[in-house]
């Protein structure tokens, strides 16, 4: 490998780089000189000027100069050497926790020092812990730095000095490297300002910012040079998704035409009329699938907005064309619920439903599989099992995925791939089903436009009429007894309640134990109630049975872990208590809360917290109390937790951005999309290079 790629761009051609260092650099995804130049500083520090001590702000990196006035070893909580340093404007404290005798002797009163480090807020003004320092005199001092000092993302065994040196060497060879402008002029229109900076100038500036460079802009990523690169990075990510979409859409899907008779039969037997938002989204899907270009569409809608029935209508259209439709749900409970709904809705249309889940085994499973393979079952509903094993479809025209959590790009693609692999018979491999993805809760706009750029998006932005809004109350756990009274009152009035136990550890066992303890406590305090307990450790069948008794009213109070988070629909439940609510993310809280407020009664959700509560936790509870709007909550969630958390920790790699920041640069996304499309049309030869430049060897989108 090294032998083959050993050319003038190889990282080992740099002074001081041998195989060992090259290996470490690989860990940072740095394989050649171009990679190095696109390894951009995280931040900058300013060692070009001396800051008067009186003007030093806490939490900034500064250079100061002064004379040691006092030097003493103090025995506080930790033994430390403390020096008071004074200049003509004021004094500050330097603290050294590690020091030797010689150091102590040299740092004596009267000595003059130049120090560099981060100022911290101390008891008496700012102080410095272990600053770097040099001895100075009145005549020949080392000059200060002439440029700002970049701080790079680093890894063990590679120092900042080393990275600075390597980037410096690479910059000198800039003109020999294939670092060309890859965005055609014609594409710049929307982001003229950002793209006016040339690529090379931007790289030079960012690795080597001149003393006059606007540090405050560089610090927050708003410098035009950073914006130039951020725009290109977002374009590259977008392109990689668009290319993927293109690749999928090269294979045809069956054209599934609208069948008005089937549609009307379906609509007429529904106990309600569709909202105008549901009708609009239904039209969007219908138009998509009547073409032979594969549909790749995401349906977003708030909790309870009625996504299922929209999916059912799409399935009706596919089935009316003689094709099969499959619906995959994230949990057993939800899959079961979908099955019950679909059976009711599809019976009048004479559509047979096949049903695959963990609890269907042996002979029963064979029968289901057979009906899927021979096409006698046109509608197939199930859990992940549906895509994970070799289920052979007779003629699948539409696959629908009801998402539990938002899958990251990578996961979603893997799922898609698996789906395709098992869905088509070898002879039909070239025909792919249309795809519909439904999210459990809304996705913040910026994430939808970046991580989901391969999908078209429909939004159901209206709730069915007659929904009562849910009153949300926030209570300290100390007032648990008041809440128990509330539960008693609600249940004796004939309504039902959920009590949700949460743990921060992602352990089914611990969570189940906590829920068991809570359930027995509650049973002691509320002996007159029938209390059920549901958690992830139960067998799928047990879970479904419990849910059914709750639905039938045989259980008054259901103590549950977050297994009930998604999709569960029991309209008579009008009260929900959530323990340790301060620890949960906003979207999860919103999703949980959406289990009540599904019927005609006034509903309430009580968020219990234990003090002390973090500022962030407090902010989340406040938002929950203030709004029921899932789209607003999604935006706030992004602001509080960042995209990595929202996509799920396992998916953070997906949106591993080097310089762009979805929050800061999100405003560019509509234009980014246009530009990426423009590049695809006007400079298709540059697409690979752009993706390679920014996504490097980890272009997982293309590989998935």
Distance (Å, rounded) from C-alpha 454 to C-alpha 9? Answer: 33
What b/e readout covers 384-395, taking b as 16+ CB neighbours within 10 angstroms? bbbbeeebebbb
Q: Is 462 in the site for ligand ADP (CB under 6 A)?
A: no
- The strand pairing partners of 532, in sequence order, are 558
174, 203 contact by CB (below 8 A) = yes
Can you give the length of the chain in residues? 704
Out of 516, 569, 661, 688, name the contact with ligand ADP by CB under 6 A.
569
Vertex 514: Cα angle to 512 and 519 (nearest 5): 90
303 contact, one of ligand ADP, Mg ion, none, CB 5-8 Å limit per kind = ligand ADP
Rule CB under 6 A: say whether 597 interacts with ligand ADP.
no
Measured CA distances, 499 to 304, 525, 559, 587 (Å): 20, 14, 5, 18
Question: For ligand ADP, which stretch binds (CB under 6 A), given 191-199, 300-308, 635-643, 687-695?
Answer: 300-308
Q: How far is the CB of 301 from ligand ADP (least distance, A)?
A: 5
Q: Which stretch binds ligand ADP (CB under 6 A): 121-129, 226-234, 286-294, 296-304?
A: 296-304
From the list Mg ion, ligand ADP, none, partner contacted by residue 301 (C-beta under 5 to 8 A by kind) = ligand ADP
Confirm or reject binding of residue 464 to ligand ADP (CB under 6 A): yes
From the CB of 600, what's the least distance to ligand ADP, in Å?
Answer: 11
> Dihedral sign, CA of 342, 344, 350, 355?
positive
Query: Which of the ranges 12-20, 147-155, 453-461, 561-569 carries the binding residues for Mg ion, by CB under 5 A?
Result: 561-569
Q: How far is the CB of 266 from ligand ADP (least distance, A)?
A: 13
Peptide bond into 612 cis (omega under 30): yes
Q: How far is CA 421 from the centre of its chain?
A: 27
**Beta-ladder partners of 560:** 500, 534
Choose the stretch contacting Mg ion; rule: CB under 5 A; options: 428-436, 565-573, 630-638, 653-661.
Answer: 565-573
Number of chain residues interacting with Mg ion (CB under 5 A) = 1
Stretch of 146-154, 254-262, 274-282, 290-298 contacting ligand ADP, by CB under 6 A: 274-282
Minimum Å gap between C-beta 39 and ligand ADP is 43
Distances in Å between the Cα of 272 and the Cα atoms of 180, 232, 267, 463 are 59, 48, 8, 13
Contacts of 409 (CB under 8 A, 6+ apart): 241, 451, 452, 454, 651, 654, 655, 700, 701, 704
Q: In the set 193, 264, 272, 322, which binds ligand ADP (CB under 6 A)?
A: 272
- Residue ranges with strand state E in 479-602: 496-500, 531-534, 557-560, 573-578
Crossing angle of helices 687-695/669-682, nearest 10°? Answer: 140
Closer residue to ligand ADP (CB): 61 or 569: 569
**Residue among 68 and 547 whose Cβ is closer to ligand ADP:** 547
Among 150, 567, 594, 599, binds Mg ion (CB under 5 A): 567
* Cβ proximity to Mg ion, 565 vs 582, nearer residue: 565
274: partner contacted, choices Mg ion, ligand ADP, none (Cβ within 5-8 A by kind):
ligand ADP
Give the start-end residues of each E strand in 426-500.
434-438, 456-460, 470-476, 496-500
Find which of Mg ion, ligand ADP, none residue 228 binds, CB within 5 to 8 Å per kind.
Answer: none
How far apart are the C-alpha atoms of 287 and 295, rounded to whole Å? 9
Selected binder of ligand ADP within 63, 303, 512, 638 (CB under 6 A): 303
Which helix (H) or strand (E) segment holds residue 116: the answer is strand 112-122
Backbone dihedral region of 258: left (phi > 0), alpha (psi from -120 to 50 degrees) or beta? Answer: beta
Nearest to 127 by CA among 141, 117, 114, 140: 117
Q: Closest Cα partner for 691 from 669, 673, 676?
A: 676
309 lies in the site for ligand ADP, by CB under 6 A: yes
Nearest to Mg ion of 150, 306 (CB atom): 306
| Residue the block writes with tokens 């134990």 | 513
Q: Which is nearer to Mg ion, 243 or 598 (CB)?
A: 598
Task: State which of residues 150, 306, 444, 599 lies at the interface with ligand ADP (CB under 6 A).
Answer: 306
Do the bridges between strand 496-500 and strand 456-460 make them parallel or antiparallel, or are there none, so unpaired? unpaired
| CB-nearest residue to ligand ADP | 306
- Choose between 346 and 609: whose C-beta lies nearer to Mg ion: 346
Query: 569 contacts which partner out of ligand ADP, Mg ion, none, CB within 5 to 8 A by kind?
Result: ligand ADP
Q: Which of 93, 305, 496, 628 binds ligand ADP (CB under 6 A)?
A: 305
Q: Report the residue from 243, 307, 416, 620 that binds ligand ADP according to the rule CB under 6 A.
A: 307
Q: Measuring CA to CA, which residue among 37, 36, 14, 13 is closest to residue 25? A: 36
Q: By CB under 6 A, is residue 275 in contact with ligand ADP?
A: yes
Closer to ligand ADP at the Cβ: 305 or 324? 305
Nearer to Mg ion, 419 or 567 (CB): 567
One of 131, 209, 294, 304 touching ligand ADP (CB under 6 A): 304
Tell me the site size for ligand ADP, rule CB under 6 A: 15
Tokens at 455, concatenated: 């999908």
Helix (H) or strand (E) holding 33: helix 33-37
Residue with tokens 């009213």: 553
> What are the φ and ψ backbone dihedral angles of 685, each rounded to 5 degrees?
-70, -15
Q: Least Å distance between CB 605 and ligand ADP? A: 16
Name the minimum Å distance from CB 303 to ligand ADP.
5
Stretch that binds ligand ADP, among 30-38, 304-312, 510-518, 600-608 (CB under 6 A): 304-312
> What does 6 interact with, of ligand ADP, Mg ion, none (CB < 5 to 8 A by kind)?
none
Which region, judged by CB under 6 A, interacts with ligand ADP, from 130-138, 198-206, 305-313, 368-376? Answer: 305-313
| Interface with Mg ion (CB under 5 A) | 567
| Interface with ligand ADP (CB under 6 A) | 272, 274-275, 278, 301, 303-309, 464, 567, 569
């Amino acid at each position: 490998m090294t032998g083959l790629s050993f050319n003038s761009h190889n990282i080992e051609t740099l002074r001081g780089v041998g195989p060992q260092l090259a290996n470490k650099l690989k860990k940072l995804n740095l394989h050649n000189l171009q990679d190095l130049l696109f390894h951009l500083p995280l931040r900058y520090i300013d060692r070009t000027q001396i800051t008067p001590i009186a003007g030093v702000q806490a939490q900034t990196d500064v250079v100061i100069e002064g004379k040691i006035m006092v030097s003493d070893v103090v025995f506080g909580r930790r033994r430390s050497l403390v020096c008071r340093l004074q200049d003509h404007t004021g004094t500050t404290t330097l603290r050294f926790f590690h020091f030797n005798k010689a150091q102590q002797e040299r740092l004596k009163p009267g000595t003059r020092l130049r120090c560099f480090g981060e100022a911290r807020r101390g008891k008496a003004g700012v102080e410095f812990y272990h600053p770097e320092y040099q001895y100075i005199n009145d005549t020949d001092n080392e000059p200060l730095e002439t440029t700002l000092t970049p701080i790079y993302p680093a890894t063990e065994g590679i120092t900042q000095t080393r990275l600075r040196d390597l980037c410096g060497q690479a910059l000198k060879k800039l003109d020999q490297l294939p670092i060309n402008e890859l965005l055609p002029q014609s594409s710049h229109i929307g982001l003229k300002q950002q793209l006016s900076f040339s690529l090379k100038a931007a790289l030079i500036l960012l690795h080597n910012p001149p003393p006059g460079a606007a540090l405050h802009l560089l610090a927050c990523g708003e410098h035009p040079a950073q914006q130039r690169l951020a725009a290109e990075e977002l374009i590259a990510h977008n392109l990689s998704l668009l290319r993927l979409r293109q690749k999928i859409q090269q294979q045809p899907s069956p054209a599934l035409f609208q069948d008005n008779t089937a549609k009307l039969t379906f609509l007429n037997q529904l106990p309600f009329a569709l909202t105008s938002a549901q009708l609009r989204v239904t039209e969007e899907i219908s138009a998509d699938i009547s073409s032979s270009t594969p549909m790749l569409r995401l349906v977003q809608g708030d909790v309870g907005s009625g996504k299922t029935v929209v999916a059912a209508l799409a399935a009706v259209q596919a089935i009316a064309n003689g094709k099969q439709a499959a619906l995959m749900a994230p949990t057993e409970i939800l899959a079961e619920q979908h099955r019950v709904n679909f059976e009711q809705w599809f019976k009048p249309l004479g559509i047979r439903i096949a049903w695959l889940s963990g609890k269907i085994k042996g002979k029963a499973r064979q029968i289901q599989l057979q009906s899927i393979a021979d096409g006698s079952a046109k509608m197939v509903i199930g859990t992940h099992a549906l895509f994970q094993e070799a289920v052979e479809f007779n003629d699948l025209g539409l696959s629908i995925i009801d998402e539990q959590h938002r899958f990251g790009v990578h996961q979603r693609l893997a799922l898609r791939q698996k789906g395709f692999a098992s869905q088509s018979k070898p002879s039909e491999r070239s025909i792919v089903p249309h795809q519909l993805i439904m999210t459990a809760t809304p996705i913040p706009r910026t994430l939808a436009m970046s991580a989901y750029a391969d999908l078209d998006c429909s939004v159901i932005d209206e709730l069915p009429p007659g929904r009562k809004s849910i009153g949300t109350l926030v209570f300290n756990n100390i007032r648990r007894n008041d809440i128990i009274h509330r539960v008693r009152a609600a249940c004796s009035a004939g309504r039902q309640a959920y009590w949700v136990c949460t743990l921060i550890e992602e352990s089914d066992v611990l969570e189940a134990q906590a829920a068991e303890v809570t359930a027995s406590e509650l049973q002691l305090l509320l002996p007159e109630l029938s209390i059920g307990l549901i958690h992830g450790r139960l067998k799928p069948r047990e879970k479904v049975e419990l849910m059914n008794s709750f639905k039938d009213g045989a259980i008054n109070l259901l103590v549950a872990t977050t297994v009930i988070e998604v999709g569960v629909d029991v309209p008579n439940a009008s009260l929900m208590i959530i323990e340790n609510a301060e620890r949960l993310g906003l979207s999860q809280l919103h999703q949980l809360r959406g289990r009540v407020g599904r019927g005609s009664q006034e509903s309430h959700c009580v968020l219990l917290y234990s003090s002390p509560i973090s500022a962030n936790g407090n902010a989340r509870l406040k938002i929950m109390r203030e709004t029921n709007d899932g789209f607003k909550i999604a935006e706030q969630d992004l602001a509080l937790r960042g995209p990595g958390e929202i996509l799920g920790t396992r998916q953070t790699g997906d949106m591993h951005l080097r310089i762009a920041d979805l929050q800061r640069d999100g405003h560019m996304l509509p234009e980014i999309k246009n530009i990426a499309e423009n590049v695809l049309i006007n400079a298709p030869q540059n697409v690979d290079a752009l993706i390679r430049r920014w996504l490097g060897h980890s272009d997982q989108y293309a590989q998935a």
